[in-house]
Amino acid sequence: MELSLNYIGTNQTALQKEYLKWLLSKSTCYLKQELSIKDISSMMAIVEKCLQFVGNISFSPVWIVLLDKVQMFGNRNETLQLYHKIDQEVLRLIMTGDPAPLSVLLHLWQTHLPSLEFVVIKVLEHMTMGSSSSWPCALSPKEILQKSFLVQASRHEPVICYALQSMLKSLSKQTQFTSVAAHILKLLSQDI
């Protein structure tokens, strides 16, 4: 956003709204362009700028297109680092009780299963360890499960349901996750 005399005296909230509109506009224009494989650094830059808005419902359409574009770059080291940043932000949002929109999570988990696995393991760790887990969180294990959208996502997408069931069955064989994984598997089998 260019600095302009029009913004002098404008309150912080109005400036943030203007910045958000500007960022959405720029993101949309950029994403409409065809990207070549050489543009991974440009793609990383825009994803990193938009990362703070992954939980903002207004950015859902932008994030869905961004995730499609990121997927085009395959399993390069830079791409995996980018997914790691996205996963960390998604987890932070879940742990604070203000998760990313379900549509964004569904798209992320469908296009990059390791992101789903990351959230599953972190949620299970938190549910197993409770307050002693490494994540500062005021939410109960039940609230974390609800805010993670894992059960809801599995009800929307058969691929996610199958992947989640497979992960949980595998993790239930590890003693520290047995009861929690069994509980989540039971929830998944309801209403399916």
Q: What are the pLDDT digits (tens) for 118-140?
A: 999 988 888 877 655 555 566 67
Please check whether residue 1 lies inside any domain of the structure. Answer: no
Helices marked H in 96-139: 102-111, 113-129
For all residues of the chain together, what is the average pLDDT?
A: 80
Rounded to an integer, the average pLDDT of 88-98 is 89
Please check whether residue 16 lies inside any domain of the structure. Answer: yes
Give CA torsion, residues 104, 105, 108, 109, to 10 deg.
-150
Number of domains in the chain: 1
**pLDDT of 146:** 82
Please check whether residue 151 lies inside any domain of the structure. Answer: yes
Rounded to an integer, the average pLDDT of 154-170 is 90
Instruction: Express the helix, strand and coil content of the chain in percent, nearest 5 each.
Output: 80, 0, 20
Query: Which amino acid would we find at residue 166?
Result: S
Structural domain boundaries, residue 13: 9-189
Please check whether residue 160 lies inside any domain of the structure. Answer: yes
Question: What pTM was estimated for this model as a whole?
Answer: 0.78
Please check whether residue 57 lies inside any domain of the structure. Answer: yes
Backbone angles phi, psi at 137, to 5 degrees: -150, 130
Please check whether residue 13 lies inside any domain of the structure. Answer: yes
C-alpha 124/C-alpha 156 separation (Å) is: 21
Please check whether residue 2 lies inside any domain of the structure. Answer: no
Which has the closest alpha carbon to 117: 53, 192, 170? 170
Kindly report the length of the chain: 192
Please check whether residue 63 lies inside any domain of the structure. Answer: yes
